[in-house]
């Protein structure tokens, strides 16, 4: 019993402090689409945009829906946001004009 409670309390998304139990609850309420799960639980919606929790989130979704967590579907991972490099460097002087004098 204690072990199950510990698993429920595991934080999946550190940015938004979303636990495994919260994700499971959203799924049990009928939201099975990964985008809906993210919107309603806030998992993967924080500062890192899912880069640190996306694999854990996919594992929880697969477990809750009865799938094998070792067979993570590529479709689930492909639909989560990817890292994007900045468009270009911005110099500090462009943000804050300074007067020379």
pLDDT, greater one: 89 or 67: 89
Report the run of H or E that residue 95 belongs to, with start and end: helix 92-95
67 is a domain residue:
yes
Residue 24 and residue 13: Cα distance in Å, rounded? 13
Q: What percent of the chain has pLDDT over 90?
A: 22
100 is a domain residue:
no
* CATH code for the domain of 19: 1.10.10.1100
64 is a domain residue:
yes
Name the pTM for this structure.
0.62
pLDDT at 23 over 60: yes
Residue 57 and residue 19: Cα distance in Å, rounded? 10
Kindly indicate the confidence band of residue 35, based on its pLDDT and cuts at 50, 70 and 90: confident
Q: What is the domain extent for residue 38?
A: 2-84
pLDDT at 2 over 90: no
Number of domains in the chain: 1
Q: Give me the helices (H) in 34-73, please.
A: 34-41, 54-64
């Amino acid at each position: 019993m204690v072990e199950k409670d510990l698993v429920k309390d595991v934080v999946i998304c550190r940015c938004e402090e979303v636990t495994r139990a919260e994700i499971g609850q959203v799924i049990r309420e009928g939201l099975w689409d990964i985008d809906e799960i993210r919107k309603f639980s806030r998992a993967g919606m924080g500062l890192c945009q899912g880069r640190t929790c996306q694999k854990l989130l996919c594992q929880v979704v697969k477990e809750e829906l009865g799938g094998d967590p070792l067979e993570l579907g590529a479709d689930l991972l492909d639909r989560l946001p990817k890292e994007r490099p900045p468009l270009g460097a911005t110099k500090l002087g462009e943000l804050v004009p300074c007067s020379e004098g």
